[in-house]
């Protein structure tokens, strides 16, 4: 058998176009995100100028068709963008993720031609979106929601509260879920597109969080919000299908965020142990340190392959309920382990804000909570296995 490697071109995870895109986002992140991280973390908000640059870079409409101002890209490209930005700041990355996977995607997938024409050009050019499913009394049990929608003439009137809404402070367009027929249970849930300036709509408390501090997480108050009937997203009573399919895509974005966080933390720790000396040699010369780094790198790469496998399957039109759940579950577990090890390798310095280790550690925890807790991912995986 010939051992001539020239007969077999080297395999790569990405196509040439995807590599060009990745490199462009990585360069953008170094130039525009990195200098802002500390300031945004202290201020607890994303720099508005950075948001403008996101739109200019085309990062806010990656999968949206070109006719609406998007790039007509793929979920794989969304994951690439989120991963690269997350290597520097998970908070800056989640704004991109939510816009693409939880807002643009369901409008593109379920919206009427009129809704797509009305909202997608705004969402790809200058307007942030948010996804409002969770409530004070319904988190993992999202279909136990109390928000109601009552039909009045040519409009629906929404009443209730939403909680834990990412991008809530910056958004101008919201996808809001409400029950139009409580007696039908989850089969009464319907998705609506709500604009920030609709009468009766307001943004409430902004949460003070452990991690991803620059990302806004808010309450939404719906006090008799009148929504035009044409703003129903998908069929009335089919909101649960919209929610489930959207979250399946969104979990790939969270997986990408977590593998980015892991890589950022690991890169910082690897650089540190090459320079820090103890007992007459660098930390990186100790086999115990080397083994910890090797284990962290191996787990991170395994999680990365799971995330991109799920993204590829989704791009090819496959159901990824199980693959997406596994990718999110494992990538969030890996992120917690890798950021913890990375922080410890910094020693006492890792516990201070002078180094990035503590921020990566704090940012990693959210991966096991939002867009479906780890227990909910395990439930999804088990059901898919046993059906």
Length of the chain: 387
Q: Are 204 and 212 in contact (CB under 8 A)?
A: no
Percentage of residues in the chain having pLDDT higher than 90: 95
Q: What would the pLDDT profile of 155-173 be if each residue is shown by its tens digit?
A: 999 999 999 999 999 999 9
Long-range CB pairs of 22-30, under 8 A, 24+ apart, other chains included = 22/80, 22/84, 25/57, 25/59, 25/80, 25/81, 25/84, 25/85, 26/84, 26/87, 28/53, 28/57, 29/84, 29/85, 29/87, 29/88, 30/88
Q: From the candidates 63, 170, 358, 371, give the one annotated as an active-site residue.
A: 371
Other Cβ atoms less than 10 A from the Cβ of 349: the count is 14
Ordered domains of the chain (ranges, CATH): 13-128 (1.10.540.10), 130-237 (2.40.110.10), 241-386 (1.20.140.10)
Active site residue 299: no
Judge whether 130 and 165 are in contact, CB under 8 Å: yes
- Torsions phi, psi of 192, nearest 5? -130, 150
Residue 226 near residue 104 (C-beta atoms within 8 A): no
pLDDT tens digits, residue range 277-287? 999 999 999 99
How many CA atoms within 13 Å lie on the side-chain side of 292? 21
> Does residue 11 carry a pLDDT above 80?
no
Beta bridge partners of 150: 157
**Tens digit of each residue's pLDDT (9 = 90 or more) over 270-312:** 999 999 999 999 999 999 999 999 999 999 999 999 999 999 9
Over residues 50-55, mean pLDDT: 98
pTM of the predicted protein model: 0.96
Got the DSSP string for 137-191? TBSSSGGG---EEEEETTEEEEEEEEEEEETTTT-SEEEEEEES-GGGGGGGEEE
């Amino acid at each position: 058998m010939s051992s001539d490697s020239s007969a077999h071109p080297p395999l790569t995870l990405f196509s040439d176009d995807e590599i060009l895109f990745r490199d462009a986002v990585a360069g953008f992140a170094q130039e525009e995100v990195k200098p802002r991280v500390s300031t945004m973390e202290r201020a607890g908000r994303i720099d508005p100028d950075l948001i403008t640059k996101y739109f200019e870079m085309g990062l806010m409409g990656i999968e949206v068709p070109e006719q609406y101002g998007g790039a007509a890209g793929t979920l794989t490209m969304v994951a690439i963008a989120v991963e690269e930005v997350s290597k520097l700041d998970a908070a800056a990355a989640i704004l991109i993720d939510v816009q693409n996977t939880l807002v643009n995607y369901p409008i593109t997938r379920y919206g009427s031609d009129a809704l797509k024409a009305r909202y997608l050009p705004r969402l790809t050019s200058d307007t942030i979106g948010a996804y409002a499913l969770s409530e004070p009394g319904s988190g993992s049990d999202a279909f136990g929601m109390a928000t109601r929608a009552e039909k009045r003439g040519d409009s629906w009137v929404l009443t209730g509260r939403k909680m834990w809404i990412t991008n809530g402070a910056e958004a101008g367009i919201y996808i809001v879920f409400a029950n139009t027929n409580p007696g039908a249970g989850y089969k009464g849930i319907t998705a609506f597109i709500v604009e920030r300036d609709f009468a009766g709509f307001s943004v409430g408390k902004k949460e003070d969080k452990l991690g991803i501090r620059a990302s806004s997480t808010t309450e939404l108050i719906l006090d008799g919000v009148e929504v035009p009937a044409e703003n129903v997203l998908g069929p009335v009573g089919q909101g649960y299908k919209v929610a489930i399919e959207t979250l399946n895509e969104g979990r790939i974005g969270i997986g990408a965020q977590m593998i980015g966080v892991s890589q950022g933390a690991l890169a910082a720790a690897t650089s540190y142990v090459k320079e820090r000396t103890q007992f007459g040699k660098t930390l990186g010369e100790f086999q115990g340190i080397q083994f910890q780094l090797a284990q962290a790198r191996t787990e991170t790469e395994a999680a990365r392959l799971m995330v991109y496998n799920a993204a590829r399957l989704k791009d090819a039109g496959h159901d990824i309920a199980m693959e997406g759940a596994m990718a999110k579950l494992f990538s969030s577990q890996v992120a917690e382990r890798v950021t913890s090890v990375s922080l410890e390798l910094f020693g006492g310095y890792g516990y201070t804000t002078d180094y990035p280790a503590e921020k990566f550690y704090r940012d990693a925890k959210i991966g096991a909570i939002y867009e479906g807790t780890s227990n909910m991912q395990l439930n999804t995986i088990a059901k898919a296995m046993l059906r």
